[in-house]
Amino acid sequence: MLPNLRRPLRAVLSASETRRPAVTWRWLTAFAFCVLLVQSASSLDAQVPTPASVLGHAVGADFEMASWDEMLGFFRALDEASEYMELLQVGHTSYGRPWYAAVISTPENLSTLEDIRDVSLRLAHPEGLDDEAARTLAAGGKAVVHIDGGMHSTEIANAQHTMQLAYDLLSTVDEPWTRDVLENVVLMLWPSLNPDGVQLVSEWYGDNVGTPFEVAPMPWLYQKYIGHDNNRDAYMLNAVETRVIVRTWREWEPQIIHTHHQSSPFPTRIWLPPFAEPVSSRAPALVSRTINSLGMAMAQALEEHGQVGATHMDFFDAWYPGYSDYMPIFQNIAAYWTETALYRYATPRFYTVADFPDYRAGLRPEALYASPWQGGWWRVGDAVAYMVTASKAVLDYAAKYRAQILFNRYRSGADQASYFRENPPYAYLVPRDQGDPVAAVELLRRLAFLGIPIHSLDRALTFGDRTYPEGTWVIRTDHEFGETARVLLEVQEYPDLREFPDGPPSQPYDVAGWTLSALMDVAVVEVREPLSNEARAAMSPLSANVPSWQDLSGVQDVAGGVSAIDARGDNAPVDASPFDTPRDMGFDTHPVAAGVVPPPGRLQGSGSRLALDPDQNNAFRAVNRAWRTGGSVAFRPATEGAPARYLVDVSGRDRLVSDLALQAEATSESGDPVMRPRVGLYRPWAASMDEGWTRWVLERFEFEFQSVRDTDFQAGRLGDRYDVLILPSERPASLRDGHDRGTVPDRYAGGMGAAGLRALDEFVRQGGRLIALNASSDLVIDALGLPVENVLADAHRTEFFSTGSLMEVGVDTAHPLMAGERDNAVVFFDRSPAFELTDEEVGVVLASYPEAGSPLVSGYLLGEERLHGRAAAVVVPHGEGAVILFGFRPQWRGQTFGTFGMLFNALVAPLPAEPGSR
Ligand SMILES: [Zn+2]
């Protein structure tokens, strides 16, 4: 399986004009990625520099946080001084920073890295291996261990600890323990999985330390778009960072992946696996056991060092495969995270038992909390020290059990392949004939990038009682990554776990359901019958020639600072194809992903305009391109027998149709003219991930918009500047009040405020259009006095509960705001409101839950009757304008391709003359 991932060819050496000799290794595989190893001209005698000699302070010193630039300076100094380390450029960040990981091992291992990597890849892809051959390979291989400095950048010890860990290893290479570890292990040490965030947070903290705002929250996201959600993008691969990490994992196939986080459940000092319940029912058991063993090995090592207060299970479940630091378990990698205690940044804090919750105030040793922490000072240096001990325990484990770890990687993969040869689902079929064929390509390209092979049918084949034509895409499961496909495509049934018998449901730490076909509105058919040899023979694996990601990443180093990176952040190179949402190292750099292309664009009929079905998300790209290039746009509302269409008049329309793979008709019809709206998106100083995701989705679909700040609201006269305003999904109090005065520098304090809400009310009354996403609906209903009630507002968790789940709603497809939607759409429900119009004369229900039965498609729902007949989206007139309330998340984490169009229609579709009244 996956032959093109397996066997790199020899390295090509090239000289460099810099004073340091550089080695460029180009792996001339179909995968066509290459890495740049900057090898130091080091000598054995060189002194390894201490962190303090480079940074000017010890790692973990109170009030000190090294920036990414400073960290890189230290790692470069180590690289100069030690032949036990090489810096590897892995790619660029969202803001264009060059990004490095350190490879640490013996010089002998570093000189044969290609062979080591080859064994690692061979065992990761077991086709053609038997147990004996695998044992031989494992005996001769090295454990490849990924340890990183985290992705959540306000958890600052994560990144800082990597410098201490690197120094500890490189300064003791002659000591027996270190020598043993480095002979057996290749450590891939990532100083950070989010370099932009380390830079941003260090600058923010550096500006505030010693002032009254020393521990103030940073008023912007520490990842360009998605902030803290940056570890929840594992399968969707929307962020550049996620793609860099996943690509590197596929290049090396480490056996262990350890991501550091802060914070543990107070007052425990570090949280370690095993995870809390529920864990994924699809996680390979053998790998789960390894993770549990690693958790215990770390706890034991901490105890040996007198570092008390380690705990397990409590709080952090492992249900969601969206976590970057858990998702690889489905690929037979022991991937997990740990959570060390955190106060704020590098500021120390003193605690007494009086601060503890009652149930922990007795300091009673527990089975999985054997040495209760008794309080006292907690410093960033303590967190660094705990992390260093934990990381070393992992290296120790990997060195001791090296051959077993390598063999188990093979075993778990071989087990998956043989399981799915005997058990359903045997495959998933993705027909080319889809409402939005490009959405199917977006889904398949993501699976391919994760390492799942994609096939297509060479000829028509019958499965069950249906025949599928030639060209139908096939996702097979009979390989080592079969569970990865299944966990993403099957329906999730989140277990009904209660906090106590008959008590409220114990809620998932993240979300409960994510079935990709439902999220993305792509028809996917499960094959329940075994694949015959004839069927297998009629399936061809897809692949294409691709450019190297390095040839596409032309971004230069940038100086730090928010303004500097904001100024150039949007100039990152664009290499994604028009049917990829991501850009900058898009899926076109992966040979299998690049082999998945949509049916070519098609233009039928005659006439000067394009009639576009907004079921295709790319219809909105076409609309935006028309506006950008001086074309015009009109809208033809649905009539009996004729669904709604956007009519686009644009020069170069054939090119547009082919570039965007549009299924279009040419027409001479005319419709209601649509002017390009002036769109504003509220961007609060209480930084909002939903705002960031909205920004990401709008940019990807080429909408022009402006960020609207509190001062813009308070200045009033919003109608002079905007036609449409969007409020991201945040709690009403957060939107209205923002950060409390005195907790942040004054200019970041407060939210929209009473004045802002009055301005919003005036904006709508005077003809503006307001879109409230999910949680912000409550604020708008209240502030504008809308005749709408959220019927779930006071529902108790024992009666009604659902979070992060997929629900079916009936849609009024005749309404322009629901143009292109299907009669039964699937929406992402996330602690959402459900609406009732309280004045029969006012407002229109756009989507509603069924009158009976359960609307649950995937995830968890308690109390379905509370939803029966309620509205999921409404449009309500208000003065001359209108308010659109979404009781779900139409653009959640850039994943809900099936409902992006609802948000896009809300921005541009013309409303009936009396908006929202019937
Ligand atoms: Zn975290």
pLDDT tens for each residue of 253-297: 999 999 999 999 999 999 999 999 999 999 999 999 999 999 999
- Tell me how far the alpha carbon of residue 342 lies from the centroid of ligand 1, in angstroms: 10
CA distances from 454 to 430, 439, 473 (A): 10, 16, 7
pLDDT band at 553 (very low <50, low <70, confident <90, very high): low
Q: What is the mean pLDDT of the chain?
A: 91
CA distances from 774 to 145, 508, 685, 797, 829 (A): 41, 19, 19, 18, 9
- Tell me how far the alpha carbon of residue 153 lies from the centroid of ligand 1, in angstroms: 8
Q: Are 634 and 732 in the same domain? A: no
Higher pLDDT pick, 107 / 581: 107
pLDDT band at 582 (very low <50, low <70, confident <90, very high): confident
- Tell me how far the alpha carbon of residue 81 lies from the centroid of ligand 1, in angstroms: 32
The residue behind tokens 């449901």 is 505
- Tell me how far the alpha carbon of residue 903 lies from the centroid of ligand 1, in angstroms: 30
CA distances from 18 to 41, 64, 78, 98, 135 (A): 12, 33, 18, 18, 43
Q: Are 660 and 759 in the same domain? A: no
| CA nearest to 246, candidates 9, 479, 448 | 448
Give residue 159's identity as a one-letter amino acid code: A
CA distances from 140 to 56, 84, 746 (A): 42, 20, 61
Q: Are 651 and 735 in the same domain? A: no
- Tell me how far the alpha carbon of residue 152 lies from the centroid of ligand 1, in angstroms: 5
pLDDT band at 506 (very low <50, low <70, confident <90, very high): confident
- Tell me how far the alpha carbon of residue 310 lies from the centroid of ligand 1, in angstroms: 17
Domain that holds residue 643: 602-674
Q: Determine the Cα–Cα distance for residues 155 and 160; give it in Å rounded to an integer.
A: 10
Q: What is the CATH number of the domain that holds 290?
A: 3.40.630.10
Domain end (from 619, 651, 674): 674
Residues 889-893 have a mean pLDDT of 98
Does 100 have pLDDT greater than 60? yes
Q: How far is CA 846 from the centre of its chain?
A: 30
Q: Are 695 and 773 in the same domain? A: yes
- Tell me how far the alpha carbon of residue 260 lies from the centroid of ligand 1, in angstroms: 7
DSSP state of 345: T
pLDDT band at 4 (very low <50, low <70, confident <90, very high): very low
Domain end (from 632, 655, 674): 674
Residue 461 lies in a domain: no
Does 52 have pLDDT greater than 50? yes
Higher pLDDT pick, 562 / 451: 451
Q: What is the CATH number of the domain that holds 899?
A: 3.40.50.880
- Tell me how far the alpha carbon of residue 387 lies from the centroid of ligand 1, in angstroms: 14
State the SS3 of 368-384: CECCCCCCEEECHHHHH
Instruction: Say if CB 107 and CB 218 are below 8 A apart.
Output: no
Does 20 have pLDDT greater than 70? no
Instruction: Say if CB 451 and CB 330 are below 8 A apart.
Output: no
Q: How far is CA 772 from the centre of its chain?
A: 23
- Residue 547 has a pLDDT of 77
Residues 790-808 have a mean pLDDT of 95
- Tell me how far the alpha carbon of residue 158 lies from the centroid of ligand 1, in angstroms: 9
Q: Are 664 and 648 in the same domain? A: yes
CA distances from 773 to 7, 639, 777, 871, 876 (A): 48, 28, 6, 14, 14
Q: DSSP characters for 448-471? A: HHTT---EEESS-EEETTEEE-TT
Torsion of CA 675, 678, 681, 685, to 10 degrees: 180
Residues 574-594 have a mean pLDDT of 76
Tokens of 915: 């908006």
- Tell me how far the alpha carbon of residue 262 lies from the centroid of ligand 1, in angstroms: 5
Instruction: Say if CB 40 and CB 82 are below 8 A apart.
Output: yes
Does 569 have pLDDT greater than 50? no
- Residue 914 has a pLDDT of 64
Q: Are 26 and 134 in the same domain? A: yes
Residue 913 lies in a domain: no
- Residue 583 has a pLDDT of 66
Q: How far is CA 304 from the centre of its chain?
A: 37
pLDDT band at 42 (very low <50, low <70, confident <90, very high): very low
Residue 221 lies in a domain: yes
DSSP 3-state helix, strand, coil percentages of the chain (rounded to 5)? 35, 20, 45
Exposed, middle or buried: residue 19 (CB in 10 Å: 0-12, 13-18, 19+)?
exposed
- Tell me how far the alpha carbon of residue 194 lies from the centroid of ligand 1, in angstroms: 12
Q: Are 629 and 684 in the same domain? A: no
Residue 366 lies in a domain: no
- Tell me how far the alpha carbon of residue 456 lies from the centroid of ligand 1, in angstroms: 40
Pairing mode, if any, of strands 679-682 and 724-727? parallel
Domain end (from 646, 674, 702): 674
Q: Are 24 and 82 in the same domain? A: yes
Least confident of 554-558, 704-708, 781-785: 554-558
Instruction: Say if CB 770 and CB 713 are below 8 A apart.
Output: no
- Tell me how far the alpha carbon of residue 830 lies from the centroid of ligand 1, in angstroms: 21
Tokens of 223: 């990842």
- Tell me how far the alpha carbon of residue 737 lies from the centroid of ligand 1, in angstroms: 26
pLDDT tens digits along 138-168: 999 999 999 999 999 999 999 999 999 999 9
Give residue 863's identity as a one-letter amino acid code: G
Least confident of 36-50, 206-220, 256-270: 36-50
Q: Are 626 and 727 in the same domain? A: no
- Residue 46 has a pLDDT of 58
Which residues are close to ligand 1, an ion, with C-beta < 5 A?
152, 155, 261
- Tell me how far the alpha carbon of residue 640 lies from the centroid of ligand 1, in angstroms: 52
- Tell me how far the alpha carbon of residue 787 lies from the centroid of ligand 1, in angstroms: 41
- Tell me how far the alpha carbon of residue 151 lies from the centroid of ligand 1, in angstroms: 7
pLDDT tens digits along 837-849: 999 899 999 999 9
Tokens of 379: 């410093």
- Tell me how far the alpha carbon of residue 698 lies from the centroid of ligand 1, in angstroms: 27
Q: Are 185 and 270 in the same domain? A: yes
Tokens of 694: 């909205």
Residues 525-536 have a mean pLDDT of 97
Torsion of CA 69, 155, 147, 13, to 10 degrees: -20
- Residue 560 has a pLDDT of 34
Does 480 have pLDDT greater than 80? yes
Does 16 have pLDDT greater than 60? no
Instruction: Say if CB 850 and CB 830 are below 8 A apart.
Output: no
Q: What percent of the chain has pLDDT over 70?
A: 91
The residue behind tokens 């120094």 is 167
- Tell me how far the alpha carbon of residue 55 lies from the centroid of ligand 1, in angstroms: 25
Residue 507 lies in a domain: no
Q: Are 633 and 724 in the same domain? A: no
Q: Determine the Cα–Cα distance for residues 541 and 475; give it in Å rounded to an integer.
A: 10
Q: Are 667 and 763 in the same domain? A: no
Domain count, the chain: 3
- Tell me how far the alpha carbon of residue 227 lies from the centroid of ligand 1, in angstroms: 11
- Tell me how far the alpha carbon of residue 336 lies from the centroid of ligand 1, in angstroms: 12
Number of other CB atoms surrounding residue 639 within 10 Å:
9
Residue 133 lies in a domain: yes
Does 449 have pLDDT greater than 60? yes
- Tell me how far the alpha carbon of residue 263 lies from the centroid of ligand 1, in angstroms: 7
Q: Which residues contact 725 (CB under 8 A, 6 or more apart)?
A: 679, 680, 681, 682, 708, 718, 760, 763, 768, 769, 770, 771
Instruction: Say if CB 124 and CB 103 are below 8 A apart.
Output: no
| CA nearest to 272, candidates 242, 315, 328, 333 | 315
- Tell me how far the alpha carbon of residue 259 lies from the centroid of ligand 1, in angstroms: 9
Q: Is 862 helix (H, G, I), strand (E, B) or coil?
A: strand
- Tell me how far the alpha carbon of residue 261 lies from the centroid of ligand 1, in angstroms: 4
- Tell me how far the alpha carbon of residue 221 lies from the centroid of ligand 1, in angstroms: 14
pLDDT band at 10 (very low <50, low <70, confident <90, very high): very low
Residue 590 lies in a domain: no
- Tell me how far the alpha carbon of residue 146 lies from the centroid of ligand 1, in angstroms: 17
Does 917 have pLDDT greater than 60? no
Residue 489 lies in a domain: no
Residues 572-591 have a mean pLDDT of 70
- Tell me how far the alpha carbon of residue 339 lies from the centroid of ligand 1, in angstroms: 7
- What's the chain's Rg over C-alpha atoms? 28
pLDDT tens digits along 586-644: 888 899 999 999 999 999 999 999 999 999 999 999 999 999 999 999 999 999 889 99
Q: Determine the Cα–Cα distance for residues 812 and 505; give it in Å rounded to an integer.
A: 33
Residues 390-417 have a mean pLDDT of 98
Residues 462-482 have a mean pLDDT of 97
Exposed, middle or buried: residue 211 (CB in 10 Å: 0-12, 13-18, 19+)?
exposed
Residues 846-853 have a mean pLDDT of 98
